[in-house]
Amino acid sequence: MKNTTIHLHTAFDIGEVDPRLFGGFLEHMGRCVYEGVFEPESAHADEDGFRRDVLAALQRLAMPVIRYPGGNFASGYHWMDGVGPRESRPTVRDLAWQSIETNHFGTEEFLLLCRKLDWTPMLSANLGTGTPEEARDWVEYCNAPAGSRYADMRVEGGTPAPHAVPLWCLGNEMDGPWQLGHVPAEQYAIRAQQAAKMMKDVDRSIELVLCGSSTVALPSYMQWDRGVLEYVGGLVDYMSLHRYVDNRAGDTADFLAVTNAVDRQIEEMDAVCRFVQARRRSNKRAYLCFDEWNVWYKNMEMDGAGKHAPHLIEELYNLEDALVVAGFFNSFLRHADVVKIANIAQIVNVIAPIQTQGDQLLLQSIFHVFEMYSKRKRGRALRPVVQGPSYEAATNGRVHTIDTSAILDHDTLHVFATNRSLEAHAPVEIRLADRTITASLDCEIVTGDDPKAENSFENPNRIRAEAFHDTRLAEGAAHTRLPPMSTTAMTFALG
Ligand code: AHR
């Protein structure tokens, strides 16, 4: 393959990387909560019923923010069912996933977990079957000082100090006909505005996320976004967007080019936000919150059949999926000025980097890519200019064979590069025009010889991050040779 040059310059500055781009999502779905993070009967359970092995794996991902309790689940969830003494909480039927919800894990358990793992909590209010007032009451329960009804409920439960939950979603995927309580944009806008006003009246410091289009496939795409944002206007801080991608066509080259579609979705949503901001003659810009994203298509089992913690959408991830996860991160970093929060869906068992099976735990291929990026997330994103081979993908258009992003952290440079070629090594030169690369500090790679290779409980280390030594420095630039079907994170020292 011909040479690729990644041109960088410290003045090609996109903006500070918001660490919340490396967030996660914990939903009451399948075995994400129960048998995932929370399993008091497990041999691994700590004194609060959390699985130590799962928490240790999650700690490695260093997720700064976690969204909870859904997802579609949130639109039928009444938060009061999940607070107070555990023995008196009701067992209810969850209609989103046709499952039984015991409410043994609720607000306090989630917030305790957040403290244990240093997560910033992000709560999704129920604007499907719930009322704006119920959302307001939840803010009071979590964030108000003692001295009023819901705050005192928290205090009686043993938590005197407010939790100070800073981020709240105004519902979930309210544009989707599958959503409990789905309504047309005009009605959602009214509900969201009422909730937003009351929630901020309780706590002025909170930030709010408005439901934008959950998929580009719906006819209301962009129209919904414009309508709801115009109505709710300056009360919200972020617009939510979701994306699940697939390789149903069995075309790996096209699948790896899905970064074009993700870039485009971000740019389109940002365009609506800027349009509405201009129409409102406002200085307040709504940023993007990509609060669900992942690969998801192989396991579509979503019917819990009336069971508690059923096995739902337990997707197994392979090498090509891991490279696509890297592509999502590259897209987010290339748009670091616009995308401020992103939550991989989900964190355990349900379309997740971590799987449990009895007392065993498996790290999936995507876990290793997530960890590789997450540990390099501090700094300012630089705009890379790529010169080199490209190809025309069947549905996603033309892409460079090398997909890349970069973060400058003072005297350290992180360069992420994915070789999308299925068969050829790629010679790559990395140049930072106004600085000298003086040393290769820490480079890792995730690769393999089969795009469909995956980890399993029998063979757990087939896909993992390994040290990458194939970098050479010459005249202030770095030179490397990236194996086919690989994603690499390279950390360099700068002179
Ligand atoms: O993450 C699984 C589901 O996908 C979420 O509950 C929903 O918001 C989305 O459609």
**Model pLDDT, residue 88:** 96
Distance CA 68, CA 53 (A): 21
**pLDDT reading at 38 higher than 90:** yes
Give catalytic residue positions: 173, 292
Q: Which amino acid is at 11?
A: A
Which of 95, 173, 214 best tests ligand 1's pocket when mutated (most atoms within 8 Å of CB)?
Answer: 173
Ligand 1 atom nearest residue 70's Cα: 6
Ligand 1 atom with minimal separation from the 313 CA = 2
User: Which residue CA neighbors atom 5 of ligand 1 most closely?
Assistant: 71
CA 219 / ligand 1 centre spacing (Å):
19
- Alpha-carbon distance of 394 to 385, in angstroms, equals 24
Please check the confidence at residue 390 and state whether its pLDDT lies above 90: yes
Q: Cα(76)–Cα(124) distance, rounded to whole angstroms?
A: 11
Residue 161: pLDDT above 90? Answer: yes
Nearest Cα residue to atom 7 of ligand 1: 71
Tell me if the bond preceding 69 is cis, omega within 30° of 0: yes
- Per-residue pLDDT of 202-212, as tens digits, reads 999 999 999 99
The angle, 0 to 180 degrees and rounded to 10, between the axes of the packed helices 319-334 and 259-279 is: 30
- For residue range 325-373, what is the model confidence (pLDDT) as tens digits? 999 999 999 999 999 999 999 999 999 999 999 999 999 999 999 999 9
306 token code pair: 């009336």
Pocket test for ligand 1, best of 77, 99, 172 (most atoms within 8 A of CB): 172
Counting Cα atoms < 13 Å in the Cβ hemisphere of 345 gives: 22
Axis crossing angle, helix 365-374 with helix 319-334, rounded to the nearest 10: 30
**76 C-beta closer than 6 A to ligand 1:** no
Alpha-carbon distance 268 to 331, whole Å?
13
What pTM, to 2 d.p., does this model score?
0.98
Average pLDDT over residues 278-289: 96
Distance of CA 235 from the midpoint of ligand 1 (Å): 25
Domain 4-9+382-494, CATH homologous superfamily name and number? Golgi alpha-mannosidase II (2.60.40.1180)
What class, spelled out in words, does domain 18-377 have in CATH?
Answer: alpha beta
Contact 44, 360 (CB under 8 A): no
Tokens linked to 283: 């200085």
Listed in order, the ranges of the chain carrying CATH 2.60.40.1180 are 4-9+382-494
pLDDT at 472: 97
- The percent of residues in the chain predicted with pLDDT above 90, rounded, is 100
* Structural tokens at position 236: 């919200």
Mean predicted confidence (pLDDT) in 205-230: 98
Task: Say which amino acid occupies 357.
Answer: Q
Burial class (CB in 10 A: 0-12, 13-18, 19+), 43: exposed
Cα 151 to ligand 1 centre (Å): 30
- pLDDT tens digits for range 175-184: 999 999 999 9
Does the pLDDT value for residue 233 go beyond 90? no
- The confidence score (pLDDT) of residue 382 equals 98
Question: Residue 230 and residue 413: Cα distance in Å, rounded?
Answer: 40
Backbone angles phi, psi at 170, to 5 degrees: -85, 70
Two tokens, residue 363: 């790290």
**Amino acid type, 187:** Q
Token look-up 């959408």 returns 313
What pLDDT sits at residue 444? 98
Using 50, 70 and 90 to split pLDDT, how confident is the model at 289? very high
Quick check: 259 and 399 in contact, CB under 8 A?
yes
Take residue 396 and report the two structure tokens written for it: 């996603």
As given in the structure block, the two tokens for residue 292 are 């669900």
CA distance 465 to 227: 44
Beta strands 412-419; 486-494: pairing state = antiparallel
Mean of pLDDT over the chain: 98
Whether the CB-CB separation of 65 and 55 falls below 8 Å is answered with no
Question: Could you tell me where in the chain the CATH 3.20.20.80 domains are found?
Answer: 18-377
CB 468 within 8 A of CB 445: yes
Task: Say how many Å lie between the CA of residue 72 and the centre of ligand 1.
Answer: 6
Please answer whether residues 355 and 54 qualify as being in contact, where contact means their C-beta atoms are separated by less than 8 angstroms. no
Determine if ligand 1 sits within 6 Å of the CB of residue 27. Answer: yes
- Between strands 23-25 and 65-68, the pairing is parallel
Instruction: Report the separation in Å between the CA atom of 74 and the middle of ligand 1, taken as the mean of its atom positions.
Output: 10
| Cα–Cα distance for residue pair 194/134, rounded to 1 Å | 11
Ligand 1 contact via 346 beta carbon (within 6 Å): yes
pLDDT, mean of residues 29-38: 98
Encode pLDDT of 95-118 as tens digits. 999 999 999 999 999 999 999 999
Contact 451, 486 (CB under 8 A): no
Percent of the chain with pLDDT over 70: 100
- C-beta 212 within 6 A of ligand 1: no
| DSSP bridge partners of 405 | 416
- Segment 295-336, tens digit of pLDDT: 999 999 999 999 999 999 999 999 999 999 999 999 999 999
- pLDDT tier at 429 (50, 70, 90 boundaries)? very high
Burial bucket for residue 345 (CB in 10 Å: 0-12, 13-18, 19+): buried
Q: Using the structure block, give the residue that is written with the tokens 């806008």.
A: 189
Do the bridges between strand 238-245 and strand 287-295 make them parallel or antiparallel, or are there none, so unpaired?
parallel
Angle at 214 between CA 208 and CA 218, to 5 degrees: 140
* Spatial CB neighbours of 481, under 8 Å, sequence gap ≥ 6: 425, 426, 427, 428, 470
pLDDT at residue 91, rounded to an integer:
98
